[in-house]
C-alpha cells in the first residue's frame, strides 16, 4: 500500500484534519516490550504525540524490560503485568489500571501477551498492532521465520487494526522488501523489519491523528497460519527434503533459537544439536571429509574444515557453519575436535582478578542477577540487543577485541571470562588460535640458553605431523651431528595447508582491516625483538651463521622488514584516472590495489629467517595468506617464527610453514591451482623449473631472485684500505653464502699485487670456528653437499690454470663443514670459476688495464647474471658511468652489501625478476583492479 501523507495542524488540544472534522487529541497507550517498542515510544514523543501510559511485561528477576526503563526516563506511567487474563477472563485490577490512564488509542509495537478484547476495543480509536509479515500470509507468532522457511521472495510487515481474531484485523498499512539469498532472520530484522517498522508505526499514528488511516479488510486468499516456533517440537528440521528447503529452515531459525537436529553418535547415543549459519554449497566433492550421521537424513553428511555439509534429497549440499552442542556454540568444522570436557580454570593474576570483577559487574547490570561461574547469558533471558550491549561495554571497558561470536561460543560466565582473559594475555588474538606446549619440539641447549623449537609442520594455527609421520634429519654444520628430526611434508600435506590458507583468505583474514593487519605485524616484530637472542642462536646452530652476524643481520633485518611493511599495511592505495567520457554522461575511473590470495614462498638456506621476512612481510602487508617452504636443511627459525605468529595474534591459516624437500613440497606448491603467487629465492636452474610449473598449473604470478656472478670493479684511484676491507666482505660475508656476493673482482693492474697481499694478510687474521663464539669471523658452510661442491669448484679452477693463492680446502683439525677462505688470481674470462657462482668464500680476481673503460664494462657484463655489482673509485664520473652501463639490479659505489628494507632488491637477466624490499615489493603481492562508474 502506498504511504499516506499527513496534513494537519494543531489547534487548542484538538487536531484539525484535511476533511474538516475535529477529533479529540490522541492519548496513546503503548502495550508491548523490547527495544522495538522503546524506539516506537521515542519516535512518537519526537512527533509530539501524547503517550499516557506504557504497559509491559513483569521484571525477570531484577531485570526490567527496556520499554519500561525508557518510559520512566520520560516520566510516563509504567505498568508491568505478568498476565492480563486468568483462565481466559480479564483480571479486574489489570483492567482498572489500564483504564486509569484514559487512553483513546492502543499501540502494540511488539507484544507477546494476550490482550483482552475489553482492552482492544476499550480505546475509542481502537488498537493498532505491528506484525512482521505481509498479511494475510504467515499469521502467527513466528511470521518472520516462516517467511524464510517457505522461501518467500518478498518479506515485509503489516500494521493492522486488532480484532478478536489472530492477526486477522483490517490493514492500516503494509511495506515490503525483497528476500536475498543470504538473508537470515537477523538480517531481515535489522535491514528492514526493525528500522522501517519503527518509522511505520509512527506514520500509522500520524494517519490516525489526521483521520486518513484506512481499514482494509484482509482477504482469505493466500492466508496462512503457521505453527509457533517457540515450541521446541516445531524446531526440528526435516532432513528428508531438497537442500533448498533444509537451507531455508535453518536460516529461518538463525540465530535464535536454532534449527534442531539429532546426531547419531558412533556409540548409539542420540545427541541433539542446533544448526546455524547455513548456505547452499556449490561443492560436489568432499576431499578429506569425515562422515557424520544425522537422524532422519537419507543422504550422507560430512565434516570438513569449512563446516558440516548435509545432503538434500536432490543431492545438493547445505553447508552449516556453527553448531550448538550442549551449552556451547562451536565452529561446525571442529565437530570431531571438540568435547564436553571442561577447560581447566585459569590462574588469575591480581590485575586479572580486578578485570573479573569488572566483567561480572557488566553482566550483572545487563542480566540483573548475581553472576556465578555457571550463569548462562541466554538462559537468563538475554536477547540480541543485550548481546550488542555486552560486547560493546566489554570492548570499551577492558579494551579487548571481542565480537558477538565470542559470546555465542562461550555463553556461560566462566567460559566467557576465560575467553576474555586469554585475549588480554595474547594481545587480542583469538584463544582458539593459541598453542599449547604439547607440540613436538627439540630443546636446544646453547649460548647459555635452553630454547624450545617446534619440529612439526605449522598448518592452520597448529603444529602437526606430516602424513605418515615422515621426517627428515637436521644436521648441525658446526659438528655434523643431528639436531633433530622435522616433519617432511607430503603432497597431501601441501594441499591441506593451501586449503587452510585459502579458507583464511576468504574468511577471517578478509575481515581484518588494513590497520589491524599492521598492528599484528608490529606485535610480531616486537616479539621477534624480545626473542632475538633465541632466534640468532637457532640460526647459528641450524645454518652455521656467525652469532654476532645473525643477531645484527639475519634477525635484525628481519625485524626491520616486519616493522617497515607494518607501516605500509594501511597505505596501499589506488589512483583516480581522468578518462574521456561520451557526453553528456560523466565517468569516474579509479583503480584498487587488492591482495592476490594464497601465496607460496620457497626460500633458501643462506639467510633462513631473513629471506622468510623479506618476502612474507610484504606479502602479509598486502593482505594475502601464505605458505612458506623453508630450506630443507635449516628450517628451525621458520618453525620458531610460526610459534611467535600465534602469540602475536595472527588468525589460523594466515601463515603456514611446510618443512620438507623442495622436490616434493616445493614442487607441489608450484603446481597447486589455489596458489596464485609464488615467490622464490634460489638457483637459476631450479627457478626455471618453477617458472614452467607456475605457467603450466594456473599461470600463477611469480617473482624470482636467482643466481648471481656479481662483478666488483676496483680502480687504482680508490681508497685502497676501504676497498680491501669491503672487497673481503663482498666475498666472505656470511661465509660467502650470500646471493649478492662479488663473484668476480676486477682489480686494476697498478694496485693488483698490493690488493692481493692485503687480502691474504686479512684472511690470515680471521678467526674460524664455533659460530657462537663472539670472536669468530668465519663459520661452517651450511651443509655437506654444498661443502663438497666448493671443494670440486676449487679443483676445476686449478685444473683450468687459475692460480690458487690461498685456501681451497677443508680447515684442518676441526670437525664440521669449515672451508678455508680462498683466493684465486690470474683468472681468465673463459674459465669455469669466472662464469659460475660458487656461493662460498672463494675470491676470484682478474686484472684489467684502466685505459679502456668500455672494454672493462663489457667484461663485467659478460655474464647471464645481473643481480648486483660494485665499483670503487674516487672519480665520480667513472662511478656514475659504471652505474649507468652495468646490467645489474643493484649497484654499490664505494661500498658493498649495504642493503636496507626500504631499498628495492632484485636482479636482471637470469638473476630473475621482481623485487624484494621497498615499496616496489608490495606490487609483487598485489593485483590492480580498474573500476569505471558512469553517472
Catalytic residue positions? 131, 705, 739
Q: Does 838 belong to an annotated binding site?
A: yes
**CA distance linking residue 142 with residue 809, whole number of Å:** 85
> Strands 259-264, 171-178: parallel, antiparallel or unpaired by DSSP?
unpaired
**CA distance linking residue 776 with residue 779, whole number of Å:** 7
H or E segment and range at residue 730: helix 720-732
DSSP letters spanning 409-426: H--BHHHHHHHHHHHHHT
Cα four-point dihedral sign 299, 303, 304, 307: positive
Q: How far is CA 516 from CA 224, 567, 627, 926, in A?
A: 49, 11, 21, 18
Q: Does 666 belong to an annotated binding site?
A: yes
Q: Does 682 belong to an annotated binding site?
A: yes
**CA neighbor of 394 nearest in space, from 378, 412, 369, 417:** 417
**CA neighbor of 367 nearest in space, from 385, 384, 388, 381:** 381
DSSP letters spanning 226-244: PPPTTSGGG-B---SS-HH
**Span between the terminal Cα atoms of the chain, in Å:** 31
CA angle 296, 302, 307 (to 5 degrees): 110
Sequence-separated contacts (24+) of 823-826 with Cβ below 8 Å: 823/756, 823/759, 823/760, 823/763, 824/794, 824/797, 825/756, 826/801, 826/802
Peptide linkage before 136 cis (omega within 30 of 0): yes
Q: Does 664 belong to an annotated binding site?
A: yes
The x, y and z cell numbers of residue 68, run together, are: 519500561
Asked if residues 683 and 843 have their Cβ atoms less than 8 Å apart, the reply is no
**CA neighbor of 818 nearest in space, from 312, 438, 477:** 477
CA angle 466, 468, 474 (to 5 degrees): 55
User: What is residue 22's three-state secondary structure?
Assistant: strand
The x, y and z cell numbers of residue 809, run together, are: 680446502
Asked if residues 243 and 318 have their Cβ atoms less than 8 Å apart, the reply is yes
**CA neighbor of 636 nearest in space, from 485, 439, 520, 769:** 485
CA angle 919, 921, 925 (to 5 degrees): 120
> Strands 912-913, 701-705: parallel, antiparallel or unpaired by DSSP?
antiparallel
**CA neighbor of 330 nearest in space, from 409, 235, 429, 390:** 409
Q: Does 155 belong to an annotated binding site?
A: no
Cβ neighbourhood burial of 588 (10 Å; 0-12, 13-18, 19+): middle
**CA distance linking residue 823 with residue 732, whole number of Å:** 11
Q: Give me the count of residues in the chain.
A: 935
649 Cβ neighbours under 8 A, 6+ residues apart: 426, 427, 428, 429, 430, 433, 520, 523
Asked if residues 853 and 881 have their Cβ atoms less than 8 Å apart, the reply is yes
**CA distance linking residue 448 with residue 458, whole number of Å:** 27
Alpha helices in 531-626 (DSSP H): 532-543, 547-549, 556-568, 608-621
H or E segment and range at residue 693: helix 684-698
How many CB atoms lie under 10 A from the CB of residue 22? 12
**CA distance linking residue 531 with residue 519, whole number of Å:** 18
Sequence ranges of the binding site for NADP(+): 629-632, 662-667, 682-683, 789, 837-839
Sequence ranges of the binding site for (6R)-10-formyltetrahydrofolate: 113-115, 167
Amino acid at each position: 500500500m502506498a504511504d499516506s501523507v499527513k496534513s494537519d495542524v494543531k489547534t487548542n488540544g484538538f487536531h484539525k484534519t484535511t476533511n474538516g472534522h475535529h477529533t479529540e487529541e490522541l492519548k496513546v497507550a503503548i502495550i508491548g516490550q523490547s527495544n522495538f517498542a522503546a524506539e516506537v515510544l521515542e519516535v512518537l514523543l519526537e512527533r509530539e504525540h501524547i503517550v499516557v501510559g506504557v504497559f509491559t511485561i513483569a521484571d525477570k528477576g531484577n531485570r526490567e524490560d527496556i520499554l519500561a526503563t525508557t518510559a520512566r526516563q520520560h516520566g510516563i506511567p509504567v505498568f508491568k503485568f505478568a498476565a492480563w487474563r486468568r483462565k481466559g477472563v480479564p483480571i479486574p485490577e489489570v483492567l482498572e489500571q489500564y483504564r486509569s490512564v484514559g487512553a483513546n488509542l492502543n499501540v502494540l509495537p511488539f507484544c507477546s501477551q494476550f490482550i483482552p478484547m475489553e482492552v482492544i476495543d476499550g480505546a475509542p480509536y481502537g488498537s493498532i498492532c505491528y506484525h512482521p509479515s505481509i498479511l494475510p500470509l504467515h499469521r502467527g507468532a513466528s511470521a518472520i521465520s516462516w517467511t524464510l522457511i517457505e522461501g518467500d521472495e518478498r518479506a515485509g510487515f503489516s500494521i493492522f487494526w486488532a480484532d478478536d481474531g489472530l492477526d486477522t484485523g483490517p490493514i492500516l498499512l503494509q511495506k515490503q522488501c525483497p528476500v536475498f539469498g543470504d538473508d537470515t532472520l537477523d538480517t531481515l530484522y535489522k535491514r528492514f523489519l526493525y528500522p522501517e517498522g519503527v518509522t511505520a508505526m509512527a506514520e500509522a499514528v500520524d494517519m490516525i491523528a489526521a483521520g486518513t488511516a484506512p481499514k482494509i479488510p484482509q482477504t482469505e486468499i493466500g492466508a496462512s497460519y503457521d505453527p509457533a516456533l517457540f515450541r521446541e517440537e516445531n524446531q526440528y528440521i526435516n532432513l528428508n527434503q531438497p537442500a533448498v528447503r533444509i537451507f531455508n529452515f535453518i536460516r529461518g531459525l538463525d540465530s535464535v533459537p536454532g534449527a534442531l537436529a539429532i546426531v547419531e553418535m558412533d556409540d548409539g547415543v542420540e545427541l541433539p544439536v542446533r544448526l546455524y549459519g547455513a548456505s547452499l554449497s556449490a561443492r560436489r566433492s568432499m576431499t578429506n571429509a569425515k562422515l557424520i550421521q544425522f537422524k532422519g537424513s537419507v543422504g550422507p553428511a560430512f565434516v570438513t574444515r569449512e563446516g558440516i555439509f548435509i545432503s538434500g534429497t536432490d543431492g545438493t549440499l547445505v553447508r552449516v557453519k556453527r553448531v550448538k552442542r550442549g551449552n556451547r556454540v562451536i565452529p561446525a568444522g571442529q565437530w570431531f575436535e571438540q568435547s564436553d570436557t571442561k577447560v581447566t580454570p585459569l590462574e588469575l593474576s591480581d590485575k586479572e582478578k580486578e578485570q573479573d570483577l569488572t566483567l561480572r559487574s557488566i553482566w550483572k547490570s545487563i542480566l540483573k542477577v548475581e553472576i556465578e561461574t555457571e550463569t548462562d547469558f541466554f538462559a537468563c533471558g538475554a536477547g540480541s540487543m543485550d548481546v550488542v550491549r555486552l560486547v560493546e561495554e566489554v570492548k570499551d571497558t577492558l579494551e579487548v577485541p571481542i565480537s558477538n561470536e565470542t559470546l555465542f561460543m562461550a555463553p556461560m560466565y566462566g567460559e566467557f571470562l576465560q575467553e576474555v582473559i586469554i585475549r588480554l594475555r595474547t594481545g587480542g588474538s583469538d584463544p582458539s588460535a593459541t598453542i599449547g606446549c604439547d607440540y613436538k619440539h627439540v630443546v636446544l641447549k646453547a649460548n647459555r640458553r635452553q630454547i624450545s623449537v617446534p619440529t612439526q609442520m605449522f598448518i592452520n594455527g597448529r603444529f602437526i605431523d606430516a602424513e605418515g609421520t615422515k621426517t627428515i634429519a637436521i644436521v648441525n654444520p658446526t659438528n655434523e651431528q643431528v639436531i633433530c628430526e622435522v616433519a617432511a611434508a607430503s603432497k597431501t600435506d601441501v594441499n591441506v595447508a593451501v586449503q587452510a590458507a585459502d579458507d583464511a583468505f576468504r574468511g577471517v583474514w578478509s575481515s581484518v582491516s588494513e590497520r589491524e593487519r599492521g598492528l599484528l605485524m608490529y606485535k610480531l616484530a616486537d616479539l621477534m625483538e624480545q626473542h632475538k637472542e633465541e632466534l640468532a642462536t637457532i640460526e647459528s646452530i641450524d645454518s652455521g651463521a656467525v652469532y654476532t652476524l645473525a643477531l645484527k643481520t639475519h634477525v635484525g633485518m628481519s625485524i626491520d622488514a616486519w616493522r617497515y611493511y607494518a607501516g605500509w599495511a594501511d597505505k596501499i592505495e589506488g589512483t583516480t584516472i581522468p578518462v574521456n567520457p561520451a557526453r553528456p554522461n560523466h565517468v569516474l575511473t579509479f583503480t584498487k590495489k587488492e591482495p592476490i590470495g594464497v601465496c607460496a614462498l620457497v626460500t633458501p638456506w643462506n639467510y633462513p629467517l631473513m629471506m622468510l621476512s623479506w618476502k612474507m612481510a610484504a606479502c602479509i602487508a598486502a593482505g594475502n595468506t601464505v605458505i612458506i617452504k623453508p630450506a630443507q636443511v635449516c628450517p628451525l627459525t621458520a618453525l620458531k617464527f610460526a610459534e611467535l605468529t600465534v602469540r602475536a595474534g595472527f588468525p589460523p591459516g594466515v601463515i603456514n610453514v611446510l618443512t620438507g624437500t623442495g622436490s616434493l613440497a616445493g614442487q607441489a606448491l608450484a603446481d597447486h591451482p589455489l596458489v596464485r603467487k609464488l615467490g622464490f629465492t634460489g638457483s637459476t636452474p631450479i627457478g626455471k623449473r618453477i617458472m614452467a610449473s607456475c605457467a603450466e598449473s594456473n599461470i600463477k604470478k611469480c617473482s624470482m631472485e636467482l643466481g648471481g656472478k656479481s662483478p666488483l670493479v676496483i680502480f687504482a684511484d680508490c681508497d685502497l684500505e676501504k676497498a680491501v676491507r669491503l672487497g673481503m666482505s663482498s666475498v666472505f660475508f656470511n661465509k660467502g653464502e650470500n646471493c649478492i656476493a662479488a663473484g668476480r673482482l676486477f682489480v686494476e693492474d697498478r694496485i693488483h699485487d698490493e690488493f692481493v697481499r692485503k687480502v691474504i694478510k686479512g684472511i690470515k687474521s680471521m678467526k674460524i670456528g664455533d659460530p657462537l663464539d663472539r670472536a669468530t669471523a668465519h663459520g661452517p658452510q651450511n651443509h655437506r653437499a654444498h661443502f663438497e661442491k666448493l671443494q670440486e669448484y676449487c679443483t676445476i679452477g686449478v685444473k683450468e690454470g687459475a692460480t690458487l693463492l690461498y685456501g681451497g680446502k677443508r680447515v684442518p683439525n676441526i670437525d664440521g663443514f669449515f672451508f678455508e677462505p680462498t683466493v684465486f688470481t690470474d683468472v681468465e674470462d673463459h674459465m669455469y670459476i669466472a662464469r659460475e657462482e660458487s656461493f662460498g668464500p672463494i675470491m676470484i680476481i682478474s686484472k684489467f688495464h684502466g685505459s679502456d673503460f668500455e672494454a672493462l664494462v663489457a667484461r663485467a657484463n659478460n655474464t647471464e647474471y645481473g643481480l648486483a655489482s660494485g665499483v670503487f673509485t674516487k672519480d665520480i664520473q667513472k662511478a656514475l658511468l659504471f652505474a649507468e652501463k652495468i646490467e645489474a639490479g643493484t649497484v654499490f659505489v664505494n661500498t658493498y652489501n649495504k642493503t636496507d628494507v626500504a631499498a628495492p632488491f632484485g636482479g636482471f637477466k637470469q638473476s630473475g625478476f621482481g623485487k624484494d624490499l621497498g615499496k616496489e615489493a608490495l606490487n609483487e603481492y598485489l593485483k590492480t583492479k580498474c573500476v569505471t562508474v558512469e553517472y
